Structure 1
Amino acid sequence: MSNDPEVLVNKEKEEVPKIKIERKEGEPTSAFKGASWAALMAGVTAYLIGLFNASMQLNEKGYYFAVLIFGLYSAVSLQKAVRDKDEGIPVTSIYYGISWVALIVSVSLMAIGLYNAGSIVLSEKGFYAMSFVLSLFAAITVQKNIRDTQRARERD
């Protein structure tokens, strides 16, 4: 091993073989999928940790937990209905309407619950609201990514 400067320069110029992952047309990038899942986990985990540490009664915690689950389900259901309709896949009007109503009701229940929660300080209310909204948005994005990935792979 020599410490000759020319040898060191040549070692730095060596190319490292890059692994190229084939991504199908229309498939989201791995980074976007990972960021979506991370946002969903961060939102839900923060919300649940907040509930666990809250000094609320168990029935209040159950209310906020149920609203989160209802919100996640309704957001994914609405995203699917809207996308199906946009892509020409038949969606009944009743399902489409119920999906909208379910999302509006879940967001309203969260807002009404936080507004009327006298035992929760304002900063904690903001924490629950933001983690709820983050969770809903991330759930929609994760579902979209799953669907786009599946569709891209089915084309081949």
Structure 2
Amino acid sequence: MHDDFSFEYTVNDNGELTRLFWADEISKKNYLHLEILSHSMLLSRPISLYKMVFVPFTAIDNHCRNITVGAGLLSSESIESYTWLLKVFLDSFGVAAKVVVTNQDPAMKQAIASVFSNTRHRLCMWHIMKKLADKVGVALCNNEDFK
């Protein structure tokens, strides 16, 4: 039995799961040591079968490896849902990361500013470069000067 396992959830009026967060004792211990590195990552991935978004909380250790420290499921990618998830995370771990790296989700950006007010929010370079390549490629293909 784990003494420090965190588990929170909400359901709607129909009893359907709308939000879920969990983190185990080992993840919490890891996070306290990794928090010094001031890196944490929030990335969301849709899970279409359940119509929910999976949000893993990942920290980076001193060997540049990703360590999962918690996870959530959300039925919507709204400011309210992300705010709830970050508040539950903060209640569970007791300390916010110094830096959070995310994709460019505007709802997540507002939730981070609201809940982690002293945390630096940075954008994921992979997402930036992917969007840049997509936009530049389209712009070059549609430009008459380059045909």
User: Is TM > 0.5 for Structure 1 vs Structure 2?
Assistant: no
TM-score normalised per structure 1 = 0.28
Q: Which has the higher strand share?
A: 2
Q: Which protein has the larger Cα radius of gyration, Structure 1 or Structure 2? A: 1
Q: Which has the higher helix share?
A: 1
TM-score normalised per structure 2 = 0.29
Higher relative contact order (CA 8 A, sep 6+): 1
